[in-house]
Structure 1
Amino acid sequence: MNTAILKRILKYTKPYSKYIVLSFITAIINITLTLLAPIIIGRGVDFIIGPNNVNFNKLINILILLLLTIIFSSIFQLIMTRCNNIVSYKTIKDLRRDVFNKLNELPLKYIDSNSHGYIINGVINDIEIISDGLLQGFSQLFTGIITIVGTLIFMLTINYKIALLVVIITPLSLFTASTIAKACNSMFRKQSEVRGELTGYVEEMIGNQKVVKSFSYEDRAEENFEEINKKLYTYGQKAQFYSAVTNPLTRFVNGIVYAAVGIVGAITAINGNLSIGNLSAFLSYANQYTKPFNEISGVITELQAAFTSASRVFKILDEKPEVPDKANAINLETAEGNVDINKLYFSYNENKPFIEDFNLKVNPGERIAIVGPTGCGKTTLINLLMRFYNIDSGEIKIDSINVEEITRKSTRGLYGMVLQDTWLFSGSVRDNIAYGKEDATLEEVIEAAKSAHAHKFIMRLPKGYDTILSEDSSLSQGQKQLLCIARVMLSKPPMLILDEATSSIDTRTEIYIQRAFNKLMEGRTSFIVAHRLSTIKEADLILVMKDGKIIEKGNHKDLLKQNGFYSNLYNSQFAKI
């Protein structure tokens, strides 16, 4: 059992310590009342001496006392269960909230370098396993230990010799349970790891079904799935086998304990040193004493799985967050649009430099187009401007202020960004457009939609701007992109980043969108990533990148005159076949 993980879990339960204390008190009272029942029953047995020799008056009193004991025991058990549930679910709620918030703090490098299925599994499945195993398991473990201790005390008060016999045989049950629990741990850990791998693969296949089908990859996808699923089956089967064996083995040992108590107790009663009622109570205690060991042995296997899941969850929580803003970082709400990049160095891998000695000066209102072959650094440059990744050295300035002196939130708020990949959340059309400006009026939303040429198709939707969108909505990729464009047009940021913003839009609509963008870009510094060179003819400056470096720069006419890389690239797109 990992004590470090246990301490971290208990730290999450600290705000609910009053419920833990109340649970502890009610558990003791509940178990005490439960353990009183065999003694009361034993006394009742002693009042039934034989045929026509029953003390009904005292027996009725015994029955009333037994009834009250059972009623109050049930009440305190209800209170204990309620307290345990509050601690369990509130703790899990806090843990899940912290993990989700942590994901928002992590740099994109972590999100990009880990399987999304692995992350989702950590937020949902692993935390559920922690809830079932650790928190609720500890509740059973706690009550089980109290039951064992309480039962032992009651047995000692009846006959200490027989009680010592029970104690002597007890380590056999503990040894059996602990030996199997060690074997369980390894299998549950492997099972949890492969489950995360399987979740990631399924998420990958479902999210890219069109690609899978278009390349007839179904058979190979099924083979890969079956391979992972087979591993999960193997580890799961072994984990469940060890888990299932634990309980029968401990029950076998417990049966030995019960038989020993019965034989020794009967001999003691025959010799006149133990009443029949006390023997009855002792047998009940022997059964109750061994029962928690069965429950604890079952809980141990759940705890092993829970500790494995907890280690994965805490691994996410222990990831280094984005470098925090400086204490004196300023909130820059608006900007003129001066962008200076000086001696910038950046690499995804420390051993493999990518962008080296990059320099660029952009004046307010200029339109900077970035072109080049795939992998040349276009998107990387955008990521650095948005501070999604941290530069290795050099500086990026906005209006002569180093971006490291500005908060990340306000830096990103200075740019309106339209990506090639569209993203809409489950909500109304209006809410999606107003994503960056929640207080926007309906009139402002409609105006932005009209500017993006999205108003007409929105009005054809069942409820217009109040239509609820979801992942399976019938909108085309182009319509989704128009909504993303409208979102930026509504926020009216001082600078723009357009990363293949019209790639999913038909040629006719693209002409209208380009006009809308031209209007939006007036007076705004704009960075335009484009593969279709026809869309950047009017750019003030075109940067031609290759292998993280600027190999050519100038406007469209100047670059064509140079008859270099850009000229060849442009002519290859418009060459007559």
Structure 2
Amino acid sequence: MKKNNHVFIRILKYIRSLWGTLAVVVIFSLLGSYFNVILPGYTKGIVEETQKGIGGSFDVQAAGRCIFLAAGTLCLSLMCTLIQSQIAPILSQRTGQKMRREVNEKANRIPLNYFDTTPEGETLSTMTNDIDILASAFSGTLPTLITSGATLIGCLIMMFMADITLAVITVVTTIAGLMISAKVLAKGRPYFKKNQDLIAGINAHVNEDIKGHLIIKSFNAEKEVIESFEKINSDLFEQMWKSQLVSSLTIPLGLLTNNLSYIAVCIAGAVLVMTGHTGMGTVVAFIQYAQIFASPISQSIQSAGTIQPALAAGERIFRMLDQPEMEDCGTTEVDVDTVRGEVDFDHVKFGYDPEHIIVHDFSCHVRPGQKVAIVGPTGAGKSTLINLLTRFYEVNGGDIRIDGTSIYDMSRKDLHDMISMVLQETWTFGGSIRDNIIYSKQGVTDERLQEVIDSCGLRDMISMSSDGLDTVLDEEAGISAGQKQLITIARAMIDDAPILILDEATSSVDTRTERLISDAVDKLMEGRTGFVIAHRLSTIRNADMILVLKDGDIIENGTHEELMAKGGFYSDLYMSQFDNA
């Protein structure tokens, strides 16, 4: 319960920033509630004037005045409710918009290990599905809560002013019905939270199935994948069924609360009229009061079926928003245009878990303009070093310097402006080929763009595309994995940073394209520092320095010729590739 209250309070903080819109909703909610609770008073007047008419002294003007006031009050109440219902969705959707913005910005500040340890589908579900549930829920429940609170207070005042006995009976019977409803609904609270976790799980499963469908088919793993999906789907069905069962009880429980008060007032009122303790007009007014008093409680009970999954969604959203962010304490200003590209790894230690260090004591000096190849078996720490250089992960010990300045003394923005990357996993977005190559680089001339296109061997692909450089990269574009890799390499060339990182950059291209890329990269690296990670050792024979890693440590270093002459681990690794071929 405390956790739910905490989530609810945090949601209200988002709404508080929209105080102008909130004020309008509150004002019209209060006005609507006011007109709603004074209506029974005019009904009482109509009944009393009618009773007088039965006795022979009917006052047409008085009765007409009560009818006119009742009709006018009803119209004003409906008008306020209509205005409120039109403005409230704006409030909730603005809140959802703000929350989406914060979650998206947060995703760019969270350390990489969050995404490494959190299923992609779960993150996607949090950033889309959970926020939609939260915004939709509060679109309906926020006005209800405000109106219900105002109506309850106003109705209590009017009832106790009219007749204390009937007021006490109404309140007691309503509270009794409410306690029964609350006890039943409390049983369903855990189901709603479990629902959101299972929805995230099924999204992650579907996401993995779509991405890995070729592997699934090639290994004939369809049966296992289907069985795994059915397990999650069955669990989701069971939880959804239970939560929907609880939700389906909200309307009957609301009617129970309403009818208890209604019946109690009718019975007590009849007794009080027969004994002369009250009039028929008061009883009729109290029948309306009982309905008005019970209605917001009934609506609140019904809203519980919406609020509970929204709170569960909110808990997941705030869990992501509360993740620690990447530190950026650097204050040293760096002129990226004057960076020479000298890199020093000074006794670097690192472990994804501080208790299990995988890079033990890594030291290396790279001169400006050197092409450094990093090789080693899988799990040796090759990609880890690159992630440390770019500060995607923080070192556990030691330091990394560029041109003598610690990367921890400079801002992440300056650091990333110094480095261009081409990763093994190609990434293109749903824009044109031109947009994908230029990306975030400003002031790129058409001459420079054409030069890069020729250097990367993209001319033929672009000329064959329907709209040339303006061809949109979607499913209909039909470009290959190798062509996507060429685009990402062209993007790095356009970026023209003083340090270039190629992480298995030629793994998705054929031999001819690989040769073309290698020549273009050699030209690009002139006067720039380059780090190349490659399993195919034939691609890094012309590297100025080769670092051979094993278990997070440098076991050999030198040029290709020097390492082959030693006949050590690198030589064995190099020859084994040709033996396998």
Structure 2 length normalisation: TM-score?
A: 0.94
In 1, the alpha carbon distance for the partners of 2:289 and 2:443 equals 67
1:7 Cα offset (Å): 2.6
1:426 and 1:470 in contact (8 A); partners too: yes
AA in 1 matched with 2:7: I
In 2, the alpha carbon distance for the partners of 1:276 and 1:445 equals 89
Name the % identity. 36
In 2, the alpha carbon distance for the partners of 1:263 and 1:126 equals 47
Change (3 A) 1:183 1:439: farther
Partner of 1:23: 25
In 1, the alpha carbon distance for the partners of 2:411 and 2:27 equals 50
1:433 and 1:490 in contact (8 A); partners too: yes
Number of aligned residue pairs: give it.
577
Of 381, 386, 391, the residue aligned with 1:382 is 386
Partner of 1:10: 12
Partner of 1:359: 363
1:330-387: CA deviation from partner (whole Å, max 9, x where unpaired): 4544411211111111111222111111111111111111111111111111111111
1:175-225: CA deviation from partner (whole Å, max 9, x where unpaired): 112212321211112222222222211111122211112212211111111
Of 233, 237, 247, the residue aligned with 2:251 is 247
Partner of 2:269: 265
1:446-481: CA deviation from partner (whole Å, max 9, x where unpaired): 322222111221122111111122356411101111
Partner of 2:35: 33
1:147 Cα offset (Å): 1.7
Q: Which moved further from structure 2: 98-107 or 172-181?
A: 172-181
Partner of 1:514: 518
1:418 and 1:499 in contact (8 A); partners too: yes
Partner of 1:553: 557
2:347 and 2:398 in contact (8 A); partners too: yes
1:477 and 1:504 in contact (8 A); partners too: yes
Partner of 1:151: 155
In 2, the alpha carbon distance for the partners of 1:570 and 1:452 equals 27
1:155 and 1:285 in contact (8 A); partners too: yes
Structure 1 length normalisation: TM-score?
A: 0.94
Change (3 A) 1:233 1:484: same
AA in 1 matched with 2:77: S
AA in 1 matched with 2:352: Y
CA-based RMSD: 2.2
1:541-565: CA deviation from partner (whole Å, max 9, x where unpaired): 1111111111111111111111122
Partner-residue secondary structure (3-state), 2:90:
helix
1:408 Cα offset (Å): 1.4
1:88 Cα offset (Å): 1.6
Partner of 2:322: 318
1:332 and 1:406 in contact (8 A); partners too: no
Partner of 1:497: 501
Of 405, 427, 440, the residue aligned with 2:431 is 427
In 2, the alpha carbon distance for the partners of 1:286 and 1:271 equals 21
1:104-161: CA deviation from partner (whole Å, max 9, x where unpaired): 0011111111111111111112222222335642331221122222223222333222
Partner of 2:185: 181
1:333 and 1:410 in contact (8 A); partners too: no
Partner of 2:213: 209
AA in 1 matched with 2:262: Y
Q: Which moved further from structure 2: 401-410 or 48-57?
A: 48-57
Partner-residue secondary structure (3-state), 1:405:
coil
Partner-residue secondary structure (3-state), 1:169:
helix
In 1, the alpha carbon distance for the partners of 2:575 and 2:156 equals 91
2:173 and 2:264 in contact (8 A); partners too: no
Of 270, 294, 318, the residue aligned with 1:290 is 294
AA in 2 matched with 1:520: L
In 2, the alpha carbon distance for the partners of 1:427 and 1:269 equals 77
1:389 Cα offset (Å): 0.8
1:79-101: CA deviation from partner (whole Å, max 9, x where unpaired): 32344333322222212211111
Partner-residue secondary structure (3-state), 1:374:
coil
AA in 2 matched with 1:13: I
In 2, the alpha carbon distance for the partners of 1:50 and 1:396 equals 98
Partner-residue secondary structure (3-state), 2:327:
coil
Change (3 A) 1:441 1:177: farther
Partner of 1:44: 46
Of 131, 137, 141, the residue aligned with 2:135 is 131
Partner-residue secondary structure (3-state), 2:549:
strand
Which runs of no fewer than 5 residues in structure 2 stay unpaired?
A: none
AA in 2 matched with 1:167: V
AA in 2 matched with 1:310: G
Q: Which moved further from structure 2: 547-556 or 80-89?
A: 80-89
In 2, the alpha carbon distance for the partners of 1:208 and 1:465 equals 30
1:534 Cα offset (Å): 1.4
AA in 2 matched with 1:231: D
Q: Which moved further from structure 2: 431-440 or 76-85?
A: 76-85
Change (3 A) 1:31 1:571: same
1:493-518: CA deviation from partner (whole Å, max 9, x where unpaired): 11211111121112122222221111
1:56-77: CA deviation from partner (whole Å, max 9, x where unpaired): 5555444433332233222222
Which runs of no fewer than 5 residues in structure 1 stay unpaired?
A: none
In 1, the alpha carbon distance for the partners of 2:279 and 2:163 equals 11
AA in 1 matched with 2:81: Q
